[in-house]
Amino acid sequence: MSRLVIPIGPQHPILKEPISLKVEVEGENITHVDLQIGFVHRGIEKLVESLNWVQAVPLIERICGICSHVHTTTYCQGVEQLAGIEVPKRALYLRTLMCELERIHSHLLWLGIVGRNIGQEAMFMYAWRDRELVMDVMEAFSGGRVSHQANTIGGVRFDPSPAETAAAQKLLAELESKVVALRNIVEHSESFISRTAGMGVMNRDDIRRYGLLGPVARASGVDFDLRRDRPYSVYPELDFKVIVRREGDVWARAMVRVEETMQSIAICHHIINKLPGGAVSVKAPRRVPVGEVISRTEAPRGEVVYYIRSEGGEHPARVKVRTPTLPTLASFPELLQGVSIADMTVIISGADLCIACADR
């Protein structure tokens, strides 16, 4: 059969954000993939240099619509380290709580999208319905469902009362039972397994060559989680399990993500129970001393790296953002070689792309 180039993107039903894959197919099988990104490049790294340290926070929050809090956390953490600010314990706990809530929300969002892309609309509806619960919790805390504006240099900008945390725990308990139901679908549904098992298999070597991170790496047997292996914030004081699977396919990635969601819910309960009292922020200086720092956190999709350099002024001299989606995208041309169009959609959605993060 003759060769045909089908355009996947910049606008396509499987993509939530614009990338362009020019897929060359022979019959149903892919022979070549031409990847193009940068459709939502906003030049944030450059723009940050013209803002002062605090003004940069809301801008950095807008790097991503799904993991916005993780970006500000990484940035604030780095700047606090540079400036030598002692952040109150309560602020760190609340910041971490928000990170975990965001992880739950991101993983559930992903699960829904995969369900929709494999043609199981019901899964999409259930996952997104349940996601509303965690969105409600985040909204009750910070006032924002997507952009929380929760972080500031020197602490956080929200201070929940005991009544609010109790209400959040109730919602989280409700969510937990629903995530258990979702996990049962992922683990046992014949139909889901048949569409995801054995798709896009990556072994440890592939993971390492491309520098893949987060749940994708952990689904291929890489036992690495920054929260445990490069502890930051209050993670050393929390106990949680790092979920690792060996299969390396889309199904394993789904399993890792639902299990991580369960872990995150447990962490949230843990944090709320241990939440210390006190102030939620300290005053940050206008100027940050000369220096450089590499700040890293575990985002829902893997490791986020910020390199921040100060020249002693009111503005950052350089902020470099490395997001986990970039290496994932780099692996696509090889990963999609020879698979069918039907499997391609599963593999693309299974990677959990966040294009806004990658383009910045």
Site for other proteins in 308-347 (CB under 8 A): 309, 317-318, 320, 322, 326-327, 329-331, 334, 340-345
Task: Indicate the residue among 73 and 165 with the shorter CB distance to other proteins.
Answer: 73
Tell me which residues in 178-217 interact with other proteins (CB under 8 A).
191-192, 194-195, 207-211
Task: Indicate the residue among 43 and 162 with the shorter CB distance to other proteins.
Answer: 43
Among 269, 307, 314, 315, binds other proteins (CB under 8 A): 307
Q: In angstroms, what is the minimal distance from the CB of 34 to other proteins?
A: 10
Ramachandran bin of 198, using left for φ above 0, alpha for ψ from -120 to 50, beta for the remaining angles:
left
Task: Indicate the residue among 165 and 196 with the shorter CB distance to other proteins.
Answer: 196
Q: In angstroms, what is the minimal distance from the CB of 162 to other proteins?
A: 33
Write the DSSP symbol of residue 222: -
Dig out the tokens for 272 from the structure. Answer: 């709320």
Q: In angstroms, what is the minimal distance from the CB of 148 to other proteins?
A: 25
Burial of 50 (0-12, 13-18, 19+ CB in 10 A): exposed
Q: Answer yes or no: are the C-beta atoms of 299 and 77 closer than 8 Å.
A: no
Task: Indicate the residue among 126 and 158 with the shorter CB distance to other proteins.
Answer: 126
Token look-up 């070549």 returns 32
Dig out the tokens for 29 from the structure. Answer: 């099988």
Tell me which residues in 50-69 interact with other proteins (CB under 8 A).
50
Q: Answer yes or no: are the C-beta atoms of 263 and 240 closer than 8 Å.
A: yes
Longest dimension (CA), the chain: 70
Q: In angstroms, what is the minimal distance from the CB of 195 to other proteins?
A: 5
Q: In angstroms, what is the minimal distance from the CB of 120 to other proteins?
A: 4
**Contact letters (x/-) for other proteins, 108-147, by CB under 8 A?**
-------xxxxxxxx--xx--x------------------
Task: Indicate the residue among 101 and 226 with the shorter CB distance to other proteins.
Answer: 226
Tell me which residues in 215-254 interact with other proteins (CB under 8 A).
222, 224, 230
Between CA 333 and CA 320 the distance in angstroms is 26
Ramachandran bin of 248, using left for φ above 0, alpha for ψ from -120 to 50, beta for the remaining angles:
left
Task: Indicate the residue among 65 and 221 with the shorter CB distance to other proteins.
Answer: 221
- Given the DSSP bridges, would you call strands 316-322 and 20-26 parallel, antiparallel or unpaired? unpaired
Q: Answer yes or no: are the C-beta atoms of 115 and 122 closer than 8 Å.
A: yes
With CB under 8 A as the rule, give the number of residues binding other proteins. 72
Would you count residue 5 as binding other proteins (CB under 8 A)?
yes
Contacts of 173 by beta carbon, 8 Å cutoff, 6+ apart: none
Q: In angstroms, what is the minimal distance from the CB of 143 to other proteins?
A: 27
Task: Indicate the residue among 167 and 341 with the shorter CB distance to other proteins.
Answer: 341
Q: In angstroms, what is the minimal distance from the CB of 360 to other proteins?
A: 8
Per-residue burial over 193-217, b if 16 or more Cβ lie within 10 Å, else e, is eebbeebbbbeeebbeebbbbbbbb
Per-residue burial over 98-128, b if 16 or more Cβ lie within 10 Å, else e, is bbbbbbbbbbbbbbbbbbbbbebeebbebbb
Among 20, 32, 45, 169, binds other proteins (CB under 8 A): 45
Query: Which stretch, 2-10, 57-65, 149-157, 253-261, contacts other proteins (CB under 8 A)?
Result: 2-10
Between CA 257 and CA 243 the distance in angstroms is 8
Tell me which residues in 246-305 interact with other proteins (CB under 8 A).
291-295, 303, 305
